[in-house]
Each structure stands twice: as C-alpha cells, then as structure tokens.
Chain A
C-alpha cells in the first residue's frame, strides 16, 4: 500500500450509473465533479464504462481477530473488504476474547487503523462474553476511542426478553442500536438446515422459520414499547420480511439486513452434504429468496450486509453436522447484488448505493461514510465494471479463508478500484 496520498483524476465514470463524468479526488475529498477535468500531477484513472458508487459499508463482518487468526485477521479481512468495494466494515463482537469491553473494541479499532485498507468500526457485545446473562459495559464501549454504536451478540440471540428490553432501553443514552441475531434457541437446538421437506429427507435437523420470526416479532414489539432502535441481522425468511414490513408501517424504528447468499442460494444445495453451504441462518427456499428480493426492492429490508464468516479449511472439510456455520461474502457481495437485484430490474445503482452505503452508514451512525459522490464529500468511491463477468476461484480470494459458496460460479461485475478518503486501496482490480 502506497503511504502517500495522491491526487486522482477519474475519467468517464458513470456516477450511480448516470452520464459519464470526471472526478478529481484530492486531499481525501471529492474536489471536483464534471466533464473534462484535469489536475496537475494527478494520476489518471480511466473509468470509461465503469459505474462509480460511494464506498460500500458493511454492517456485518467477522474479522476473527483477536482469537481466530487462523481464519482471518483484521489485515486480511480488510484487504478482502477493499477488493469487494468496501471502505468501512463493522467487525462483529464474537472474537476471543469477546469484544465486550472498551479495551477489546479499541484494540480491534486500532488494528483496523493500522491495516489501512478500510475503516474498521467495532461492534460491541450486548452481553458479557455473549453469554446472554448480564449486560456488557455498553456505555464504556460507546465512550471509547472506537465510539461503538452498534451492539450485537451475533452468533447468539439475546433470547432473554428482559435482557433484550434493557439493552434496547440502555442504548438510547448514546443513540446506539441493538443488532439482533434472531434465533429462538430452544427451537433450534442442533439445527443444521432450513426445516422443510428436504431436511426431513436428508435427515438433517431442521431450523424452522418460526424460530427467526418469533424473535423478530417480539423484538419489534419491545422496540416500540421502549421507543428504541432495533436492527435485525440476516433476515432469511418471507415471514420475517412481512413482520418487518408491518413494524415499519407502524412507524417503529426497525431496520433490517439481508445477506447476499440469502438473495441467491437455496436450501436445495444442502442435498450435496457439502458444508460449504452450511450457514446460520440457513439457506432457505426459493419463495423466501423471492420475498427477500422484493423486500430489498421496496425498502422493507434497508441494507445488504455480508455476514462474511471466514473458516479454516478443516472446519468445512468434514461431516455436515460437524462443520462450522458461515461463508465468505465481502469480495462477492456487489456481484451477487448486481445479479439478483440490478440485472433483474428491481433496483438501479442509486438503490444499490442506498442499500450498501448510505443506509448501513446511517444505521451504524458512522461519520464520513455513506456520503454521496459530490464536491466536498469524503472521497470514498468504488469503480465497478458491471459489464464484465468472472468465474469465482477460491484461490483468488484476499481473505485468509477459502470458504466461498460460489466456487466455479460465473458472477457479473468486478471491482476495478476502491478509494478510501482519496487513497486507492484497489487499482486495476488489484490491491495497492
């Protein structure tokens, strides 16, 4: 990575898919926008035919450090993020030790600053050790240098209704949000895949949709009751979309995310017994996929978040019930969104910018990200070639892990360049 900040003239980029224009990125901001621009000593980037989007923001990333540096580190994870067009990621709290104190969140935040490939905004645990029993020191994490605003026990559900109520209330003091991993634990003991006809046939224990929907419904009601802010992680079922739509119709402050894999893949893949397709919440049915796409298009689902979950090879190269849950997502997210939402006509690039940049930054209260590509705004920009295709090869990933479910699949689009505050983290499709 080059240490110095250069000036870039980006030529012919289609901002949000609009008419080609030039951009000057200087001193960390978008300095000029318009046709025929030039700047002394600037590096010229030919962006003819490329779509320019605001730097993507992921509200749901597992960077694994500290504790599982065999799966991912802040450095490798943020490299993968940059390759995927992200300029900021929220690092989930389920590390070892758990990010449940000011000390741990500051450590993760500092590692992100040192890596430099994208901003790392730590998520704080809701409960001590993700144990679901006592509130973590949410205020201390909020007041720390990491300025935590998103709190989540992701990987575990805050199942205790009293604890969830208190967490929702408590975070109001610093404009925080509780991001719930909605999974009723008793209904999902030993669960392996979506519960349906196929789970019965395959003899894999079912993960019923109701286990997600019941928690979402409860939490929406709690949120309304205490007047707080709820974010629902990785919505995966048609019923969940309906519940969130209903909560929004009431005017309650509920936001929701969908993951790329839930927008594309279905539970049929479990029939391979290949745990590369094992994820939590599980891949669902084709009708759930349709409902998620529709929810994303009409704004019921506010954002796309990756749930990027790296795992070492041995944790996936084994029997399905013994394998870890989760799949990589950072480097393929934009392509999956293009394939499932843009190429289908459900959303245009303005919509993609909203779902993958503006809204996640807003929900995370993240300053300096999710801003439009306009003069004076931070120069967080992605240049994306939507006209090309590529075949996913796990060996190519910048992540330390290889557990992508898209191996061998042809996906549309490719990130050509990513700029973080005017500095290129990716150029010509390669990390700088």
Chain B
C-alpha cells in the first residue's frame, strides 16, 4: 500500500482533520527544549527540488529532522527551456538509493503526479508545489493557522486575493477550505482569474473593498511585477490601488479577522509594510505552523501503519481514460 499527497483535493474531510489534529500535537513539540521525536528513525526523506525554494525546502527539512528521518537534499537544475536531467532518471536514482519519501518541488504542473504514478519509484510522494497547479502542504498549514485563531472553519469566510491564475497556493486552498466547510471568495482582476473558475465551487469578486468587511480571513497572494509586461494589469501602482491591502482597507475588517500571506511577500505591491507587521498579521506564525503540518504529513504518510491521508493508490499512468 502506497500513499502520496499530490493534491489538496485528494483529502477527505477526515483526512484533513487528521492532519490538523496531528499537527497540533507536533506543534506542541516546538515549545519543548528538545524538539525531536524518534518516529521516522531509519527512514529516508529526499527533498527533490527542481525549482529553487529555500523556505519550503528548509521547512520540510526541519520537519523530517524533528521526526529523526535521514534527509537528503537534491537540487536538480532545469526549466521548461533547458530540460536538464530528466525527472525519470532522477526518480530511478532516488529509488536505487532507497528513498522512503520524496518531497517534490517542480516547475512543471503534474510532475509529482508523474513521479507517483509513472512506475519509476515506490516512494511516497509529497507535492511541495508543482508549476501553477498545487501546493497542498501550504493549504494545510494555512487551514491549521486559521483553525488556531478561529476554531472550526465551517461557514468561515476566506478571501484569497491576487494572482489566482498563476497560484498553486490558491488552487490548493480553494480545494481544501471547501472540504473543511469554509466559504472561499477569490478576488482578483478578471485577467488573473482562470477561465472556467465558475466550476470551482467558490465565489469570485473583482472588488476587494466589497469583500473585506465580511471576511474572517484575508489571504494575500504574491503578484509578480513581470505580469505587468504581459498586460495582466497596467501598472504596479494601479494594481496596488485596486487589490493591495493597506491600512485603510485593513480598518474595514472585522475585529477578529486575520491577515495571511504564503510568502515571499512583495511589500508595497500586494501588501503594505504596516499591514504585514500589524497585530492581525499571522504571516510569521504560518512559517512556524508549516513545520508542524509537514511533520504531521510525513508522519502520517510514513510512520503509522494506519496512515490514512492522501488516498492515491498506486496505479499506472498510461493507457485508457482516467
């Protein structure tokens, strides 16, 4: 029996709740002098990063080490332009080295899916962000952070604001938060919302000011300046004016509402410095919670015999209709 975490959409409500409950236990470890459990002693976790992401890599590394796993960091260069070493050969290498879990970050949407299902390796695969597809552990740590502040998420209103089109964080959050009963509103200029978003089961809005007073959570997404050059919006100034979170807008939030950002932030673009550093901001806490949630995920995938998240069974990728 093999388990992977490829998409937040693969998680049932019970799966997600189990991760959040386990993360709560892992979180308590952070307050102890010795932050280590023996749960994954003798197991090998490989951080396979085809795309630079120091934050996500060290978060997974800390998580695996606190569970006493052996950690191998494997940075493979490559992009859509220069293919570099093939994913297949890398997977075969890791398989030969006996990796129990592969944490995969990749510039190509679907690469972790391929790693899990192409028959190249028997490792558990954790999607640590693939292209513009998904980033399920980010969604789990976001949900964990929300839960710690707001309690159960049923009926809670979450506004996710910014470059939804290119955001794996938005996709995973939309899927997971729905599963957990929250009401999600994706806020962006029409150019940065994917076509067919009506089918996602979430609300959308072009008007941030209308959404803020009702929100329990505001999650700001990173917006790359370069998008301006592809005419997604006219200028940084106009983007900030219409979709940036500043002190004036923050003042329209309910008293209990929190402000989140998956990082890395571009201060002055999607969020002003005073908002990022305000009491409402839980951005630094998200980082702490990230380690706890990733510990929970690795523990549940590799540790317990009844490990029961992710759901994806081993199945061949080729042939036939999916």
Chain A complexes with chain B: yes
Residues of B within 8 A of A314 (CB): 86
Distance, CA A206 to CA B165, complexed state (A): 11
Cβ < 8 Å to A, chain B residues 304-322: 317-322
A residues 197-245 touching B (CB-CB < 8 Å): 197-206, 208
Residues of A within 8 A of B282 (CB): none
Please indicate the chain A residues that have their CB under 8 angstroms from the CB of B130 in the complex: 203
Q: A268-B322, A318-B86 are in contact. Are A197 and B195 (CB under 8 A)?
A: yes
Q: How far is the CA of A320 from the CA of B109 in the complex (A)?
A: 8
Known A-B contacts A314-B86, A319-B106, A319-B108; the reply to A409 vs B199 at CB < 8 A is: no
* Residue A174 is within 8 A (CB to CB) of chain B in the complex: no
B122 close to chain A: CB less than 8 A: no
User: Which B112-142 residues have a C-beta within 8 angstroms of A?
Assistant: 113-114, 117-118, 130-134
A235-276 contacts to B, CB under 8 A, are 268-269, 271-274, 276
In the complex, A155 has a CB within 8 A of chain B: no
Asked if A321 and B108 sit within 8 Å, CB to CB, the answer is yes
Is B171 an interface residue when CB atoms closer than 8 A count as contact? Answer: yes
Q: Which residues of A contact B151 (CB under 8 A)?
A: none
Q: Is A428 among interface residues, defined by CB-CB distance under 8 A? A: no
A273 and B113 contact, Cβ closer than 8 Å, known pairs A197-B196, A200-B196: yes
Determine if A320 and B110 form an interchain contact, defined as CB atoms under 8 angstroms apart.
yes
Number of A-B contacts (CB under 8 A): 95
Give the docked Cα–Cα distance between A208 and B109 (Å): 18
A407 at the interface (CB under 8 A from B): yes
B108 touches A200 (CB 8 A): no
- A202→B196 contact, CB < 8 A: no
- For residue A320, which residues in chain B have a CB less than 8 angstroms away from its CB? 108-110, 114
Would you call A28 an interface residue if the criterion is a C-beta within 8 Å of the partner chain's C-beta atoms? Answer: no
Q: List residues 36-51 of chain B with CB under 8 A from any CB of chain A.
A: none
B32 interfacial by beta-carbon distance below 8 Å: no
Q: Are B317 and A272 in contact (CB under 8 A)?
A: yes
Residue of A nearest to B171 (CB): A203
Q: Is A408 part of the contact surface with B, judged by Cβ < 8 Å? A: yes
Which A residues lie within 8 Å of B86 (CB)? 314, 317-318
- Which residues from chain B contact A274 at a C-beta distance below 8 Å? 114, 317-318
Set A200, A268, A272, A409: member contacting B194, Cβ < 8 A = A200
Per-residue 0/1 for A75-106: is the Cβ within 8 Å of any B Cβ (1 yes, 0 no)? Answer: 00000000000000000000000000000000
CB contacts (< 8 Å) of B197 on chain A: these are 197, 200
A272 to B83, CA, bound (A): 21
Task: Let me know if A322 and B110 touch, CB within 8 A.
Answer: no
Q: Does B87 make an interface contact (CB < 8 A)?
A: yes
Bound: A259/B111 CA distance, A: 28
CB of A198 within 8 A of CB of B196, answer yes
B133 and A202 contacting across the interface, CB-CB below 8 Å: yes
A195 within 8 Å of B by Cβ? yes
Q: Mask for A183-194, Cβ within 8 A of B = 1, else 0?
A: 000000010000
Checking B80, B165, B168, B322 against A322 with a beta-carbon cut-off of 8 angstroms, the contacting residue is B80
- A319 adjacent to B200 (CB under 8 Å): no
* Closest A residue, CB atoms, query B6: A273
Report the Cα distance A318→B85, complex, angstroms: 11
Q: How far is the CA of A409 from the CA of B320 in the complex (A)?
A: 6
Pairwise interchain contact A409-B319, C-beta atoms closer than 8 A: yes
Contacts A203-B131, A314-B86; is A269 near B110 (CB within 8 Å)? no
CB neighbours (8 Å) of A429 from chain B are none
| In the complex, A299 has a CB within 8 A of chain B | no
Contact A322 B108 (CB under 8 A): yes
B317:A202 contact, CB within 8 angstroms: no
CA gap between A408 and B197 in the complex, in Å? 34
Contacts of A318 in B (CB 8 A): 83, 86-88
- A-B pairs, 10 with minimum CB distance: A197-B196, A203-B133, A200-B194, A273-B110, A319-B108, A408-B319, A203-B109, A203-B132, A197-B199, A407-B319
Q: A317-B86, A318-B87 are in contact. List 20 more A-B contacts (CB 8 A).
A: A195-B195, A198-B196, A202-B109, A203-B110, A203-B130, A203-B134, A204-B131, A206-B195, A271-B322, A272-B318, A273-B110, A273-B111, A273-B317, A274-B114, A320-B110, A321-B107, A408-B318, A408-B319, A408-B320, A409-B320
Q: Chain A: residues with CB nearer than 8 A to chain B? A: 190, 195-206, 208, 268-269, 271-274, 276, 314, 317-322, 407-409
13 contacts between A and B (CB under 8 A): A198-B196, A200-B165, A200-B194, A203-B133, A203-B171, A204-B132, A205-B132, A268-B322, A272-B322, A274-B114, A317-B86, A321-B80, A321-B131
